[in-house]
Amino acid sequence: MLKESQLVERINAGDEAYFKLVFDTYYDRVCCFTKEFVSEEVITEEIAQGVFIKLWEGRKRLSPDSNLMGWLFTVAKNDCLKYLRQLKKERVLDFSSEEPVLLKALESFDTSNLNLAELNQLIVASIEELSPRCREVFELSRKAELKNREIAEQLGISEKMVEAHISKALKVFRSNLKDYLPLLAILLMTIE
């Protein structure tokens, strides 16, 4: 796999194959991110597609040392904010006397220095923090996508114990990754 700077250089040069590689790598993650803030799937996909259109149209303005993932998520965040503010302006959403916590969280969420490797390290460290049984249950649940009943049968424990282990694991993740919660689902898809 090419370094991010090499990908940016190839995209800057108009290489559609490398743009497709970036699209294929990040599209689902950008969709997942936008879905955290915009619940309508059609709008989520429109925003994600718009992010990649902006990448292609503005490719010559990217410097090789650009943080590509940070750029993609910053554009997605800004487009989500624009969409939510437009809904508020049109009074499609009733924000009452205060803006919703979600909108405030999105506004304060810093995507400019987003570093997947750094976040992945936090996730790996969080997994390592779990007891061996808790880690095993969590990985069977999230990676192998087994149902609680299937995990219980495979490990010879009760479903309640499976639920307790998953709750404990999620509590560790919430604590360790509180600054990155909107991206947690995206990153859990990438754990190897």
DSSP of 111-155, one letter per residue?
Answer: -TT--HHHHHHHHHHHHHHS-HHHHHHHHHHHTS---HHHHHHHH
Beta-carbon neighbour count of residue 15 at 10 Å? 14
Residue from 100, 121, 107 nearest 182 by CA? 107
CATH code for the structural domain at 4-112: 1.10.1740.10
Sort residue 15 into left (φ over 0), alpha (ψ -120 to 50) or beta. beta
| Angle (deg, nearest 10), helices 159-176 and 148-155 | 110
Would 4-112 and 117-188 be classified into the same CATH topology?
no
What local confidence, expressed as pLDDT, does residue 110 receive?
57
Domain ranges in the chain? Answer: 4-112, 117-188
Q: How big is the chain by its Cα radius of gyration, in Å?
A: 19
Topology classification of domain 117-188: Arc Repressor Mutant, subunit A (1.10.10)
Full pLDDT tens readout for the chain, 192 residues: 567 778 888 999 999 999 999 999 889 889 888 887 887 889 999 999 999 999 999 998 888 888 888 889 889 988 988 888 887 776 555 544 334 545 555 555 555 555 556 666 777 888 889 999 999 999 898 888 889 999 999 999 999 999 999 999 888 877 877 666 555 544 444 443
Residue from 154, 145, 132 nearest 188 by CA? 145
What local confidence, expressed as pLDDT, does residue 66 receive?
81
- Tally of CA atoms within 13 A in the half-sphere of 20 that contains its CB: 3
